[in-house]
Amino acid sequence: MDLYEYQAKDLFRAAGIPVPAGEVAFTPDEAEAIAAKIGGTVVVKAQVHAGGRGKAGGVKLARSAAEAREHASRILGMKIKGLEVRKVLVTAAEDIKSEAYLSVLVDRKVQAPVFIASPQGGIDIEEVAATNPNALRRLRIDPRYGLLPHEAYAIADFLYSDPALALQTTRIVALLYGVFVENSCSLAEINPLIVTPDGQVKAIDAKVSVDDSALRHLPNIEALRDLDAEPPAETKARAAGLSFVKLDGAVGCCVNGAGLAMATMDLVKYYGGEPANFLDIGGSSNPDKVVAALEIITSDPSVKSILFNIFGGITRCDDVARGILEATRRIRIEPPIVIRLTGTNEKEALSVLAEAGLTAYTTMDEVVQKAVQLAAQA
């Protein structure tokens, strides 16, 4: 789960990382009021889950509250990388002497947190990596010991040779690592980390991504979720206990088990089709889940055929069949459904399906070929 800049800055601020004062606004009126409260020059910043807002015109300096209001009315409703801006952060403007980059992320390749730092900040870090790799430093943190004091200092010293700046930054590096670990982050990023003309080091942008699997232990983070910003299908899937990822193809997939779901998607591609989604209904035997799954799949207009691939282990095939039947009664399902089920209670399942005039395949190859063919014909 990605946090908005203002949410990430709240975490930083609470941890003691220096961040300029600011508040989120949903209307130009609110933006004006916040700007008046802060006083002086402020920055109005689009809050969307995308980088490069500055380049897209979503970050504007305002010298007065009235100007903040004008910027807010222009930025609210604008689209950045396809995402509609519904809120802005109004924050005290800083004078900038230099911009650096600092982040810590989970690096799967080295199986550990890795800090990335560059004295060339403010811009895309990928660009720095490509054009000037020496201006970038990576440091793997041994998760058994956590960030050690000399490591924090080494990162800070790489960013700033001035000892006064390096000292402030050592503290920021340690605090950032604390935020990262305590909130099970996959990424905590400051870009840019700035130096002000009077020699203070501050974070003026913040990006935090939290591991979804950890959210049930982090109620304060879970509460920050913005349901308006995520596809309704994903919200519904989460509420129903389904793992769902929307994709671009035409074959809607409903599978039990993540491994089988991935194998099914591979086979769809192998036979020339494209999956419309990843969907794992899990190991339970609850017909309601199947109904929810079909509601989600059929709400996607690009789905042209629906493929069930069920291996009955803990999941009972007849429960899935009942769920399919129940769904056909409750909702109108336009695309053809093809089913493969095998395993526990397979026979019972087939007689349940027969009631609805449905049949089932027993091999994956057959059913996937059929689903791909039906999607292509539609």
- Residue 85: name the closest of 44, 37, 33 by CA: 44
Active site residue 145: no
- Kindly state the smallest distance separating residue 103's Cβ from ligand GDP, in Å: 12
Closest residue to ligand GDP using C-beta atoms: 54
59 binds, among ligand GDP, Mn ion, none (CB under 5 to 8 A by kind): ligand GDP
x/- mask, Mn ion, residues 342-361, rule CB under 5 A, reads: --------------------
Span interacting with Mn ion, options 12-20, 188-196, 272-280, 315-323, rule CB under 5 A? 188-196
Binding to ligand GDP by residue 205, rule CB under 6 A?
yes
Residue 62: how many CA atoms within 13 Å on its side-chain side?
31
- Kindly state the smallest distance separating residue 255's Cβ from Mn ion, in Å: 39
Ordered strands of the 42-46 beta sheet: 22-25, 88-92, 42-46, 59-62
Q: Report how far residue 198's alpha carbon sits from residue 200's, in angstroms, rounded to the nearest whole number.
A: 6
**Strand 207-210, strand 185-195: pairing:** antiparallel
- Kindly state the smallest distance separating residue 126's Cβ from ligand GDP, in Å: 13
Binding to ligand GDP by residue 2, rule CB under 6 A?
no
Binding to ligand GDP by residue 192, rule CB under 6 A?
yes
Q: Report how far residue 284's alpha carbon sits from residue 75's, in angstroms, rounded to the nearest whole number.
A: 46
Interacting positions 41-80 with ligand GDP (CB under 6 A): 43, 45, 51-54, 59
- Kindly state the smallest distance separating residue 173's Cβ from ligand GDP, in Å: 19
Active site residue 101: yes
Interacting positions 91-150 with ligand GDP (CB under 6 A): 93-94, 96, 99, 122
Of 192 and 323, which has the nearer Cβ to ligand GDP? 192
Phi, psi of 249 (to 5 degrees): -80, -165
- Kindly state the smallest distance separating residue 159's Cβ from ligand GDP, in Å: 16
Of 97 and 150, which has the nearer Cβ to ligand GDP? 97
Phi, psi of 25 (to 5 degrees): -130, 140
**Strand 137-140, strand 112-118: pairing:** antiparallel
Interacting positions 195-234 with Mn ion (CB under 5 A): 205
- Residue 115: name the closest of 144, 148, 162 by CA: 148
Phi, psi of 7 (to 5 degrees): -70, -40
Give the other-Cβ count within 10 Å of 111's Cβ. Answer: 9
Give 250's DSSP letter: S
Give the number of residues in contact with ligand GDP, rule: CB under 6 A.
16
Give 85's DSSP letter: P
Binding to Mn ion by residue 191, rule CB under 5 A?
yes
Please report which helix (H) or strand (E) contains residue 45, including its range.
strand 42-46
99 binds, among ligand GDP, Mn ion, none (CB under 5 to 8 A by kind): ligand GDP
Q: Are 365 and 267 in contact (CB under 8 A)?
A: yes
- Kindly state the smallest distance separating residue 1's Cβ from ligand GDP, in Å: 18
Written as one letter, the residue type at 172 is I
Strands (E), 331-373: 337-343
- Residue 186: name the closest of 149, 154, 221 by CA: 221
Residues ≥6 apart with Cβ < 8 Å to 122? 99, 101, 191, 192
Binding to ligand GDP by residue 319, rule CB under 6 A?
no
Binding to Mn ion by residue 280, rule CB under 5 A?
no
297 binds, among ligand GDP, Mn ion, none (CB under 5 to 8 A by kind): none
- Kindly state the smallest distance separating residue 89's Cβ from ligand GDP, in Å: 9
Binding to ligand GDP by residue 204, rule CB under 6 A?
yes
Which one of 6, 101, 160, 361 is the catalytic residue? 101
Enumerate binding residues for ligand GDP (CB under 6 A). Answer: 43, 45, 51-54, 59, 93-94, 96, 99, 122, 191-192, 204-205
Enumerate binding residues for Mn ion (CB under 5 A). Answer: 191, 205
Active site residues: 101, 189
